[in-house]
Amino acid sequence: MGKKGFYSNWMMYPAILIFVVFFIIPNISGFYLAFTDWNVYFIDDMRLVGFDNFQKLFIDNIFWISLKNTLFFVFVTVMAKNIIGFIMALLVSKASKFNTYLRTVMFLPVMISGIVISIIFLSIYNPETGLINTFLRSIGLGALAKGWLIDSKFAMSSIAAMEIWQWSGFNMVIFIAGLQSIPHNFYEAASIDGATWFQKIRYITVPLMIQSFTMTFVFSIISGFKVFAQVYGTTNGGPNDSTQVMATFLFRSFARGQYGYSAAVGIVFMLVITLFSALFLVFLRKKEIEY
């Protein structure tokens, strides 16, 4: 234990210090601030107001809209990113120059900032001059041209499509690693037993990749709940708050100078994210297979 243990403990302390200063203390402060009326108008004079902020939050219609939108966004993007990522991984998992090129192309959107993606898609979704509607009109399907970001029926789905386009490649990379870790003798044995391609995927590939699915699902859920740049850069929660999500709702409260209320919003959203992530983690962990 002696010298080796002492050396490793000392190296840990700077990281612990950073973690405490930038994570623990702000979170504890946030808990306290959530029970105050701290705002921009009385920046040096905050008063404890008990559960007023939480009461105000739970009767705010926009809060429930943002929660509903966020859950919709999480569900749609988690399912789509994982399904599309898995399919892409199956298509490009075999080693070849072409597949290497394809993997790179599919992964490239991950490297682009969310705000930049938003600006690009603002142009693509433009109802008058955007790529999508211009193409639809050019092939005689002008009736299908919509206000993708200005019509509240389509706005949230349009934003989800951006997220799916950007991050499916990330999941694909994780799935490729998972696919390559499965021993080939399982597939050989299945072939000998006459299993079809689909049966191999269902009974060998998917069960043995549960750990990869766990990772991608949890990442997708967390990033889905944290969605901000895509909404802020396109609709900023509009039209009529129909695309408000948790992060933009919190940001809006902060921008209004209501710091205590924003802290309460942050606490509630943190609890929601933690609850959903924990539930999924427990569910998927039970499905993992050791081999």
- The residues of the shown chain that bind another protein, judged by CB under 8 A, are 3, 6-7, 10-11, 13-14, 17-18, 37, 39-44, 126-128, 147, 150, 152, 238-240, 254-258
CB 225 within 8 A of CB 272: yes
* CB-nearer residue toward another protein: 82 or 253: 253
| CA-to-CA dists, residue 3 to 9, 11, 13, 15, 242, angstroms | 10, 13, 16, 20, 60
* CB-nearer residue toward another protein: 3 or 184: 3
Q: Give burial (CB, 10 Å; 0-12/13-18/19+) of 289.
A: exposed
Provide the minimum distance between the beta carbon of 33 and another protein in the complex, in angstroms, as a whole number: 14
* CB-nearer residue toward another protein: 122 or 210: 122
For 237, the token pair is 């929660």
Provide the minimum distance between the beta carbon of 149 and another protein in the complex, in angstroms, as a whole number: 8
Provide the minimum distance between the beta carbon of 126 and another protein in the complex, in angstroms, as a whole number: 7
* CB-nearer residue toward another protein: 25 or 91: 25
Q: How many other CB atoms are found less than 10 A from the CB of residue 288?
A: 13
- Own/partner long-range contacts of 74-78 (Cβ < 8 Å, ≥24 apart): 74/220, 74/221, 74/224, 74/225, 74/276, 76/157, 76/160, 76/164, 77/160, 77/163, 77/164, 77/167, 77/220, 77/224, 78/217, 78/220, 78/221, 78/224
* CB-nearer residue toward another protein: 93 or 152: 152
Provide the minimum distance between the beta carbon of 48 and another protein in the complex, in angstroms, as a whole number: 15
* CB-nearer residue toward another protein: 45 or 193: 45
Provide the minimum distance between the beta carbon of 18 and another protein in the complex, in angstroms, as a whole number: 7
Provide the minimum distance between the beta carbon of 169 and another protein in the complex, in angstroms, as a whole number: 30
